[in-house]
Structure 1
C-alpha cells in the first residue's frame, strides 16, 4: 500500500543551492572551477530533493553508511532507496528508488497557499488614460493576434500587447486567485566576500546567499510505500542541502496531493490550447513539437547530471557531468487546436519523460481545462 505526504521545508537561515552558474565547466571531463561571482539558486532542484528524501529514509531506518564497515547494509539500502540516484539516460526505461515512488514539483508556499511561477505570457503592466503604467495585480495573459501564415501554411500568432521595455514577468502567482506576488517579497539576497584557499593563487570571491522571507516555505508531495519507516512520520527534522550544508527544517504531513488547475473556460481559444509548464521540463526531441505550436514564450535553464562512463574495469570507469537544457517553469506553449494530445504525448509520454515526472520534473497544466 502506498501513502502520500505533504512535505514542508523551512530554511533555518541563509542558504546556498548550487547550479550551472556556480561553476565554470570546460574540457571533455567536465571538470569545474569557481567563478569570481558565485550565486545561489533561489529554489531547490528536484534532484536535490530526491537526494535529501533518500537520505532521510536511510536515517530513519538506521541504514546510513558508517564507513568501511557497512558491507552488510548495502543490500538493505537498495531495498529502501534503490541502487542509484537520478541521471538522464534515454536507454533506461525505469528508475527504482525503493520505498520512494514519486515526488511532486517543489513549490513556494505562503502559509498554506501554493505559489506558481507566473506564466510568461502575463502582461506585467497596463496603461491608464493618461498613459501612466500600473502593475497588473492579477494574472492577465497577452492578447494574441494572427500575423499570417508559416512556410507550411499554418496560421501564426504573436502577442499584440507585448511591450519590449516591460519585458517578461518573473514573479509568482497564487494558485487559488491568480494574484501576482513580487519575487522580491519572497526572496532576499545576502552577498558575502570570501577567500579561496583551494586555487593555485589565493584570492577573493563573492558568494550570494538566499533567504526566504517570513511566512514563506518550500513544499512538495511524496508517495511512499506504507512500510517505509516504523515511525511513518517526520517532524522538525534537520536536513542539510547544497554547498556549505545549508540547514532546513523538514516535516511530513499525511495528505493527498490535489490536482493543479489554472484558468477558466474564458481562457480557451478555438484556434489553440495554452499549456503552462509547472516545473522545469526536458523535451527530448524538440523537433517533434515544433510544428505543433503556433507560438511559445519560454526560458531555458541548464542542468548538470552526473553520469558514469564505464570502462573495462573499475579503474577505467569515471564519473562525468553532462549539461542538459530544460524549459523553465512558467514557460507557455500555444499548441494548435487538434494537436493537444500529440503534444502531451511528445512532452510527457516517453520513457525518459516518465522518469523525470517521477521526481517532479516535466509537469504541465493546460490553462482553462
Structure 2
C-alpha cells in the first residue's frame, strides 16, 4: 500500500544542510511524544496489544516506502557462558534505534526520513481518534467507563463516562500535537503538523492567525476535499510546483459549494462558482454580504479562472511567489471565516 510521507513530498526542498545538536534533540523529543504519550508499548508492565500493532504497522509501512526489509535489526544476539543467545527486539526499539542513528549520508535526507516516522505515527493516532469519535459508543466503552481508576473522575452515567473518556483521549492527542509543533519552533524548523501531515510554514504570524485555526476547522469529514486541495496547494508552493493558487482557489470553491448544499440553497442550475456565491449572498439567504460576494468573485475571475483553462496562444499565466502566498492566505482566511459562520 502506497503511503504519503514527508520525505517524498519535500524531496526537492532542502530543510537542513548539516546535522546539529538541535536536530538530534528534536528527533528524540518528537519520538518520545509518540512513544511515551501517544503509543506507550507497555501498560502496567505488560505489552499493550494495541501499541504492539501500532508499532508493527508503523515500522512495516515506513520500511516499505524506503525500500528496506526492516528499519533496523529485528533480532539481536549475545553470548553468555560461551553460548549464543538470540532474542527478538520490540518494534518500538527497532524504530527507536533507527531514528537515533547518526547520519550516514545527506543530513537533509536523514532528517526528512525520520520526520516521516513521526508524521506517520501522528497520522495513525489521529485517524484512530477520528474513527473513535465517529462511531457509536459501544457496550465495552460503557463498561470500561463504569470502572473507576485512581485519578480518573467520570460521570455516573456509563454513556456519559464513555464520552468523557473519549474527550480525554482527544484532548491528550491535541496536547501532543501542540507539543510537537512547539518543538518544531524551538528547533527553528519551519514546520507544522496538522490533520495528518507535517508541512512547511512560511510565516509565523500567518501560521498563528490563519493556518492553525484553519486546519482545526477542517477536522470534520465533510471538509475532506477542502483539506486535500489546500494541502496540495501548500505542497506545490513549498516545492515551487505549478499553480498552487489554483488548488487553494479550488478548496475555497468546494467550501462554498458545501455550504450551499448543506443550507439547502443549491438548486441544480448553477454553472460555476459565481452561481454558488450568488446562493450565499442572495437577499433571501444573506449568508455573506454582496460586497463580500463580489470580492470572492473577483478572486475567482482574476486568480482561479486563468489557471483553470488552457492558455491557447496567449502567454501562460503565472503568479509571483508573494502573489501565490497571498492567494493561499486569501483562500484560507475565507474558508475559515465561512465555516465559522455556519
The structure where helix makes up a greater share of residues is 2
Higher relative contact order (CA 8 A, sep 6+): 1
Asked if these proteins are the same fold (TM beyond 0.5), I'd say no
* Short-chain TM bin: under 0.3
Superposition TM-score, scaled by structure 1 size = 0.18
Normalized per residue, the structure richer in strand is: 1
TM value normalised by structure 2: 0.19
